Structure 1
Amino acid sequence: MAVGLGPLPTLHPVPGFELGIASAGIKRPGRKDVVVMRCAEGSTVAGVFTLNAFCAAPVILAKKRVLGPVRYLLTNTGNANAGTGEPGLAAAAWTCAKLAELAGVDENAVLPFSTGVIGEPLPVEKIEAALPAALADLSEDNWAAAATGIMTTDTLPKGASRQFEHDGVTITVTGISKGAGMIKPNMATMLGYIATDAKVAQGVLQDLLRDAANKSFNRITIDGDTSTNDCCMLIATGKAGLPEITQASGPLFAALKQAVLDVSMELAQAIVRDGEGATKFVTVQVNGGATHQECLDVGYAVAHSPLIKTALFASDPNWGRILAAVGRAGVPKLDVSKIDVYLGEVCIASRGGRAASYTEDQGAAVMAREEIGIRIELGRGTCSETIWTTDLSHEYVKINAEYRT
């Protein structure tokens, strides 16, 4: 059950970026599981990719090709093409070549993306058979259908869109993402695609995406697992008719940066809200750190703790588990007498122990909510970080126990 995640919002078309969806039946007959995206000629493309050493074959290929002229993105679900060695690389390249042949472009202008079961050969013939239908379906209005087409264990499609004006011209930023399990990105999300009609130099676009990912997709976790297939792409088609953004400064860049961050944040939080088996959406805020890294270390220690996550599922205000996680986060010379911990608006621990004003009824009332905040004041400095996570339910275990059946 997705927590606070409803139907897709309005996803504004991005001039110069088209999406087409078709069925290859990779994992289930009739399932629309192949998505082709076409970038207008002259578009710039940026990408961030998983740091998992066992990165999937499509990730290896996409990383090599992203700096060149990119015209098409090819995504399949149902098969990750990861842990497949040289045959997997050959399969990814083969599907790109087949799409390039049909589209009349160089095969290096096609980037592959895959998501699904790890360690199984990519069914290239099925994907090839679906390509003509996906190309025939290309449309700037197909964002919602594509958001559904890239899903795996997601229960709902995920999308976000923003528009702003500059010198009387409307600029659009629209994106979609997928992900519900194996979520602890170390670059971006499982799969994410964001496009804008602004014209942006590639280097500026890459820095913009990296910054947005670090503040959004790199601040979420469901189960602490970094996927082999994580990719997030940012495409700038340049069709808005404004001058090219060549520097990370000025009002146009600032407005675009905010729009990209807003879309990234909404997509990242949607992944958490749709976490496998999730019944709670949890914000872990760590303030007063000496460094940003120690804030992250504390935040992830709390967000990854199975004891805390199961207590969240049970709506049990077992605040001692939070203190234990903070204490083992590895922060050097941590003075527990300076730490305050809040559950929602309720102070549960202060000066190394239970807060004098705290009652179990107060904690239980907060834990009964679907959306819960855990705030930790370290009292060591001025740095802060925020992480979003979920509880850990029976359903999460069931989904992942039965994933391949």
Structure 2
Amino acid sequence: MEFVILAVVIALVAVGVISGLVVSSRKKKQLPPAPSSTPTITPPAEPHVGEEAETPRDESRRTIEEVGLPPTEAEEEQAPEAVAPPALDVPEPTAGRLVRLRTRLARSQNSLGKGLLTLLSRDNLDEDTWEEIEDTLLTADVGVAPTQELVERLRERVRVLGTRTPEGLRSLLREELLTLLGTDFDRAVKTESGVDTPGVVMVVGVNGTGKTTTTGKLARVLVADGRSVVLGAADTFRAAAADQLQTWGERVGARTVRGPEGGDPASIAFDAVKEGIAEGADVVLIDTAGRLHTKTGLMDELGKVKRVVEKHGPLDEILLVLDATTGQNGLVQARVFAEVVDITGIVLTKLDGTAKGGIVIAVQRELGVPVKLIGLGEGPDDLAPFDPEAFVDALIGD
């Protein structure tokens, strides 16, 4: 009996051992084989270039200079576009300008000449007719003294010569008007200093006469005559005066020397002459501020500008700009300016806008200096050298 029990226990233990082994074997995972300790690395194939693409690897290599590389399109560098300088104006030649403008002048002044010829052609030149002739001349702003002189000379010559034909009277009137205007004046604008420095021209006048515009137009006249010009913007009081002058200069390639608004005009004028000397310019044009002839302080300042500029040398020309439409009031202005600075020439602007062309005679007689330039329009080339013969012919007609 004991033997049987022992056999049963041994059998149960054997079954338990076998069951444990089976369960354990099922839980174990199959691991991959361990890698080799010295892996073999295969390098990628080297790419071939150009003509060598089919060359076996064991052949000798060529240098980069010998290898024919495939052509590539060269990228053109985009160069920045050059900014073209503004085109300069080509001013009209000064010779013959007054001839071109003669029609415009005749349109405004012809009534004076025609009125005189009509009166002189009367059958009876009595005292009343001569008084009408005198009134016509005074209305045209010829001035009292020049008018009396002209009437007296005409009366004497008509009486002595007995001239009565229209052609004879026109010729007689032409001669006497030319005598009043003066054909012996030097009307050229002086732009040569006589030494190795630029000619210096200062432009003066009251407000509203077109002084800055006249300075710009004068620059065009000088450039048309082959001169190099530097502009001095010494009008520091009027807003945008320097900008206006600079615009005129840029049109013809003339440089403008300017300063701050409200700056010292004498310093700017001095610097302009200094720059003109440094650049070897032919002419320096100085535009000054407009000033009323009744303002003593401003007139004194104008004298200071003149004195400071003359530290470089004497001024060659001082041009007074007068508005022809102001008539006899322009003579009052001219007198005061002549006392402060030595006026050497007159520029009459807006002469096409008035029938009172006699102001040319009156202002010359008053100051003893010639009218050198006249303005006959708003165009950039409507400033012309004054020619007495062309002026008189426009007055009385051909």
So what's the TM-score if we normalise by structure 1? 0.21
More strand by share: 1
So what's the TM-score if we normalise by structure 2? 0.21
Larger radius of gyration: 2
Structure possessing the higher relative contact order (Cα contacts under 8 Å, 6 or more residues apart): 2
